[in-house]
Homo-oligomer: A and B are copies of this chain.
Amino acid sequence: MAETEAAATHDNAAGIDSPLTHYLGYAMKRALSIVQADLSRVLAGFGLRAVSFSALSIIVARPGLTQTQLADALQIERSNLVTLIDELAGRGLIVRAPVAQDRRRHALMPTASGKKLAAEAKEGVTAHERALFSCLTAQEQEDLRHMLTKFRQAVSA
């Protein structure tokens, strides 16, 4: 009984949110939610979430940085970083090393297994993005990244 109605709505279903698709913020949000869902699935295979992958990657690239610096880089509160660092440290992926010059600070250092996991996860994430964005040409992907980055830098300045 709802067949014709269903068919009619189905024709429009993809565009029920058309009053919003014109907004860049909305387009970003919908695109990001797709990326996040796929990324979470990939990272779960490494026992990581997006935020823990981000933190671990930065610690590997910048060994010795402090929790405040990491929190600033990831734009999360220091207080919320604590349990995340606890988690990574508890798994033996990083250590909180004392800083001689300032005993308030913790120098975050990756362990050998932390570096190994970061490298493996990086390959996984790179493969995930390559596959997911294969509907865009290499040039389009580069343009997309360039515009997002340009926007962020321009607004932050």
Binding site for B on A (CB under 8 A): 9, 13-14, 16-36, 39, 50, 54, 57-58, 60-62, 65, 69-70, 72-75, 125, 129, 132-133, 135-136, 140-141, 143-145, 147-156
Contact = CB atoms under 8 A, between A and B. Distances in A.
B29 A32 contact: yes
Contacts of A27: 144-145, 148-149, 152
Contacts of A154: 135-136
Contact of A16 (B34, B65, B129): B65
B145 A24 contact: yes
A73 to B, nearest CB: 4
A120 to B, nearest CB: 15
A154 to B, nearest CB: 4
Contact of A149 (B13, B21, B39, B151): B21
Given A9-B69, A25-B129, A151 B31 contact: yes
Q: Tell me how many chains of this kind the complex includes.
A: 2
A30 B152 contact: yes
A24 to B, nearest CB: 6
29 contacts: A14-B153, A16-B72, A17-B74, A18-B61, A19-B57, A19-B60, A23-B125, A24-B141, A24-B145, A25-B50, A25-B129, A27-B144, A27-B149, A28-B35, A28-B148, A30-B148, A30-B152, A31-B152, A32-B32, A33-B75, A34-B152, A34-B156, A135-B151, A135-B155, A136-B147, A136-B150, A140-B150, A144-B144, A144-B147
